[in-house]
Homo-oligomer: A and B are copies of this chain.
């Protein structure tokens, strides 16, 4: 538990973080805005998935996801196949062109971060990753559980630096 002045300072940092996001957005390809980049990156990381799963990973409403996905499909970077198991669903999959695009996004962001964080050590970057990962977990799926702090699994210590794999069987969709 922290003090109120500490929370105010944290809020200022959260607000100021927008400048970092915008700078990262500026170096993206003009036909691949942030929403599209997020879709491609998540599909590359977690593999084929349905719209609902992608919406959960993006932590946005499915209507927003649908809009982003439509843009990416128009560019030919992913394809929407009907799900044979459930004809309401559609399976999203990266195309070869999409993988090329993912590589380009990775290259650009790595270049900018390598420049801006040139005086950061590996350990410092890893620490920031850990804290932001935990922050996200603490705010967790507050859409799925607005007022119930699920005491089942609360990570106290920061996770592994890279954390390459996540728990994906957790199918908490926006509850009606």
Majority secondary structure, A binding face: helix
Minimal beta-carbon separation of A19 from chain B (angstroms): 4
Task: Please report the C-alpha to C-alpha distance between residue A22 and residue B145 in the assembled complex, in whole angstroms.
Answer: 15
Number of copies: 2
Query: What residues on B are CB-neighbors of A100 within 8 Å?
Result: none
Among residues 45 to 99 in chain A, which have CB atoms less than 8 Å away from a CB atom of chain B? 45, 59-60
Q: Is the CB of A20 within 8 A of B119?
A: no
Q: Is the CB of A129 within 8 A of B1?
A: no
Q: Is the CB of B135 within 8 A of A128?
A: yes
Binding site for B on A (CB under 8 A): 1-24, 34, 37-38, 41, 45, 59-60, 106, 109-110, 113-122, 124-129, 131-136, 138-143, 149, 153-154, 156, 161-165
Q: Is the CB of A120 within 8 A of B2?
A: yes
> Which 8 pairs of residues, A with B, have the shortest CB-CB distance?
A19-B59, A13-B132, A7-B113, A2-B125, A7-B110, A128-B131, A4-B110, A20-B139
